[in-house]
Amino acid sequence: MAAGKFDFALAIGGEAGQGIATPGNIMARLFIRRGLHLNAYNAYQSIVRGGHIFLTIRVSEEPVYTHGDKLDLIVCLNQDTMDRHLGLLGDDTRILFNSDTITPGEGAKGVGICPIPVSELTQSRNRLIQNTVGVGATCSLMGLDFSILEESLTARFARQGQSVVDENVGVAKAGYEYAAKNFEAFPVALPGNPHHLAQWAGNEAIGMGAAAAGVKFYAAYPMSPSTGVLHWFAQNARDLGIMVRQVEDEIAAANMVIGAAQTGTRAMTATSGGGFALMTEAVGAAAMMEIPVVMVNVQRAGPSTGVPTKTEQGDLWQVLGASQGDFPRLIVAPTSALDMFNTIPEIFNLVDHYQCPGLVLSDLLISEGTFSVDPDAINMNPTIDRGELITEDSTQNGYNRYQNTESGIAPRAVPGTKGYIHVVSTDEHDEDGSLISDEFTNPYKRRASVERRARKFSDILERVAAPELQGPKDAEVTLIGWGSSEGAIREAVELLEDRGVTANRLQVKWMVPLHSDAISAVVNSAKCAIIVENNHSGQFYRYLRSETGLTIDKHIRKYDGEPFMPHHIADGAQEILAGKADTFVPYQEVNV
């Protein structure tokens, strides 16, 4: 680990079934309790047993936005991990492993080889006990007092009884003491901060944001990497008074959510690209009936079932074209877990105001990543604006649910409210909801309905923030990204600065509405604009070109299932600046 600010990255590698999540959770809790910032990414395969899993945890005394470019320590649980990763470690790094079952190969010069005789230390046949021994040894190498680890182990295993706690504390101490006697510790001790942080996954942030927004109905069919949202709702629904339903498929989920929203309830569903494909007809139904719903698409590598456990930004055109016909919709791609939390209440307010569907683009990187968060930054009481929602009875006669107002937005009455009887239909309809195509399709009414729905968005750009350029205006290179790439781009800018290249960045969050003028101004003033995307075809670039006419011929793209690392983007920017490439596709060095 280099001298200077504390920035440490460790990884735990093994196969599915070896209990990698447990030591990862223990270490994460330990870091968070010391007020350290955290970013974790788990590269795993779509099988229950076997395969290769590689959990990376990066921790720092300052905020970290990616799981980083380097590793300081690997806890190696099987031979496969040793074979894949030893040669990629650099000077002053360490690799811990069970010498009973793993044989080290030839590593890079300067790597600390740290074999631990697990059977000798523990006298246990439990193959998972090596994980706890590894955690103990890790804490020793990081200069952490054992009492802090003991506290984390006690909290982790308390529900399983004191005997389990004692066993894990005992073997962790054996690993801790063995490492202290036999291995050289890292030269920088783990710092602490009295202000404790919390940790969450992106899917938990989605669920919490929905609860803060006042969601009272959630329906979904499990589909990774969105399933964590369903898990969060299932675990917390009873305490929060939220109805949760796991249903037979995504078609049912979308239609149930629309039905719940029609009653005045804030309702939401989440899925991945394949499931969202089944929801697209329902998107159009919500638009025609003007029922406000929110649907989250947690992107993974496609097409079809694709690579279920890998990330990608490949569904932008899918949500742009979801359902047939012309109609207003909102599409947003939050940039982080905290941004996701804050965006969910915002988009609910907007869909209530405009009475239209709202689509949220997450991806595996955000949704299944684990991140530190300052509890003070979490506002569980955001402003809630239900728009023109009628809930009080009236003695009036006649109610035009789809009144042709100047703004295009007609007051929406909750069904059952006295004096507001109306028809809701997915066929085109008149102001009172009557179908216009039963006997004679009235061209004037059809045109008026289409124009009224479109008119609702006349002021939309005033209601959502435009992207802002970050960094010096006269930079040599401008990096433009969208959604989850923000963290890697942010750190790539810093990396380029260290290499003597000035860079700035523009991160686009709102896809619809798109602040075309603000983006065009940045592109037109840039010395060298490069669009960064986690897909093959440049989906955002093609969309931007269609909306603005801009031509940008410099691109950095990645589509191997793994997210960008900062050096991928920095390397690409330098290659492009040197005239060696127009489109740069980084090679994934780590065999994840």
Q: Based on the number of CB atoms within 10 Å of its own CB, is 320 exposed (0-12), middle (13-18) or buried (19 or more)? A: middle
247: domain CATH number is 3.40.50.970
Tens digits of residue pLDDT in 85-134: 998 898 899 999 999 999 998 776 789 999 999 999 998 767 788 999 99
Asked if the model's pLDDT at residue 2 lies above 60, the reply is no
What radius of gyration, in Å, describes the C-alpha atoms of the chain? Answer: 26
Taking residue 185's Cβ as centre, other Cβ atoms within 10 Å add up to: 15
Tens digits of residue pLDDT in 493-521: 999 999 999 999 999 999 999 999 999 99
Asked if the model's pLDDT at residue 247 lies above 60, the reply is yes
Q: How many residues does the chain have?
A: 592
Q: 195: closest CA among 60, 36, 31?
A: 36
For the record, the structure tokens of 396 come out as: 């009036």
572: domain CATH number is 3.40.50.920
> For the stretch 482-496, what's the b/e string if a residue is b when 16 or more beta carbons lie within 10 angstroms of its beta carbon?
bbbbbbbbbbbbebb
The answer to the question of residue 410 being in a domain is: no
The answer to the question of residue 490 being in a domain is: yes
Going by the DSSP 8-state scheme, the letter that residue 167 receives in this structure is H
Q: How far does Cα 231 stand from its chain's mean position?
A: 15
Judgement on whether residues 212 and 347 belong to the same structural domain of the protein = yes
CA–CA distance, 349 with 529 (Å, rounded to integer): 34
CA–CA distance, 187 with 2 (Å, rounded to integer): 9
The answer to the question of residue 453 being in a domain is: no
CA–CA distance, 158 with 135 (Å, rounded to integer): 17
Judgement on whether residues 171 and 52 belong to the same structural domain of the protein = yes
The answer to the question of residue 504 being in a domain is: yes
The answer to the question of residue 2 being in a domain is: no
Among the residues of 434-589, which ranges form H helices? 443-455, 486-498, 516-525, 539-548, 566-577
Q: 556: closest CA among 543, 544, 577?
A: 577
Judgement on whether residues 203 and 263 belong to the same structural domain of the protein = yes
Judgement on whether residues 177 and 211 belong to the same structural domain of the protein = no
Judgement on whether residues 368 and 278 belong to the same structural domain of the protein = yes
Tens digits of residue pLDDT in 277-325: 999 999 999 999 999 999 999 999 999 999 999 999 999 999 999 999 9
CA–CA distance, 288 with 449 (Å, rounded to integer): 10
Judgement on whether residues 173 and 278 belong to the same structural domain of the protein = no
The answer to the question of residue 187 being in a domain is: no
Judgement on whether residues 46 and 78 belong to the same structural domain of the protein = yes
Judgement on whether residues 138 and 226 belong to the same structural domain of the protein = no
pTM of the model: 0.96
Judgement on whether residues 207 and 355 belong to the same structural domain of the protein = yes
Q: Are 371 and 60 in contact (CB under 8 A)?
A: no
User: Which of 377, 404, 434 is the C-terminal boundary of a domain?
Assistant: 377
User: Which of 344, 377, 410 is the C-terminal boundary of a domain?
Assistant: 377
Q: Which residue is it, tokens 């920035």?
A: 7
User: Which of 333, 358, 377 is the C-terminal boundary of a domain?
Assistant: 377
Provide the domain count of the chain: 3
DSSP-based three-state secondary structure for 419:
coil
The answer to the question of residue 406 being in a domain is: no
Half-sphere exposure of 344 (CA within 13 A, CB side): 33
Tens digits of residue pLDDT in 10-44: 999 999 989 899 899 999 999 998 999 999 999 99
For the record, the structure tokens of 290 come out as: 């003007």
CA–CA distance, 246 with 294 (Å, rounded to integer): 17
Enclosing domain of residue 83: 7-182
Q: Write down the pLDDT at residue 4.
A: 61
- The mean pLDDT value for 535-543 works out to 98
Judgement on whether residues 155 and 230 belong to the same structural domain of the protein = no
With vertex at residue 299, the alpha carbon angle to CA 294 and CA 305, rounded to the nearest 5 degrees, is 115
The answer to the question of residue 525 being in a domain is: yes
Judgement on whether residues 171 and 254 belong to the same structural domain of the protein = no
139: domain CATH number is 3.40.920.10
Going by the DSSP 8-state scheme, the letter that residue 301 receives in this structure is B
DSSP-based three-state secondary structure for 292:
coil
Kindly state the percentage of the chain with pLDDT values over 70.
98
Judgement on whether residues 173 and 253 belong to the same structural domain of the protein = no
Tens digits of residue pLDDT in 357-404: 999 999 999 999 999 999 999 999 999 999 999 999 998 878 999 999
Tens digits of residue pLDDT in 149-205: 999 899 889 999 999 999 999 999 999 999 999 999 998 888 888 888 999 999 999
